[in-house]
Amino acid sequence: MAPPVERPLAEAVPYSGPLLTGVANDLVIPSLEQDWWAIPGSYSYEPPGDIHTLEVPEGVEKMVTLFHVTGSYTYVEPDGTPVGVEDVFTQLETAKAHYESVGIGADYVMLLVR
C-alpha cells in the first residue's frame, strides 16, 4: 500500500445550508470536508448526503477518475441553494448532444446502454 499523502492546504467553501431532503440527518454534517486525498489505486464509497469538493492538487498534469454512480448528484451553493442535478438521464442527454455534435449521431449512445 502506498504511504499516506499529506493533504496540501486548500480553501474550500463549506456547505452551510439546511439539511437536504430525503437524506438522514446523521449523514449530513455541515462544513465537513474529507481529511484525506485519494491517491493512485485508492477508492472511496460515498453514501447519500456526503458533501465534499473534488480537488486536484497543483502541478498534477493528468487525473483520471471513474465515478460509478447509482443515484444522482445534487449540486448546491454553500448556502444550500440547489444549482443542478445530474443523474443517468442527464448524462445520457449530454452524451447524445456530444455524439451528435461530432457527427456520430445521438442514437449511437444507446448502443452503449445494456
Q: What is the pLDDT of residues 25-43, one digit of tens each?
A: 544 445 455 656 677 777 7
Query: What confidence score (pLDDT) does residue 74 get?
Result: 82
For the chain, the domains span 1-57, 69-114
Confidence of residue 104 (pLDDT cuts 50, 70, 90): very high
Q: Which of 46, 47, 65 is nearest to 55 (CA)?
A: 65
Give the pLDDT score at 64.
Answer: 85
Which residue in 73, 79, 66, 65 sits closest to 91, CA to CA? 73
pTM over 0.85: no
**pLDDT > 90: what percent of the chain?**
20
Burial of residue 51 (CB within 10 Å: 0-12, 13-18, 19+) is buried
In the predicted structure, residue 110 carries a pLDDT above the cut 90: yes
Amino acid making up residue 17: G
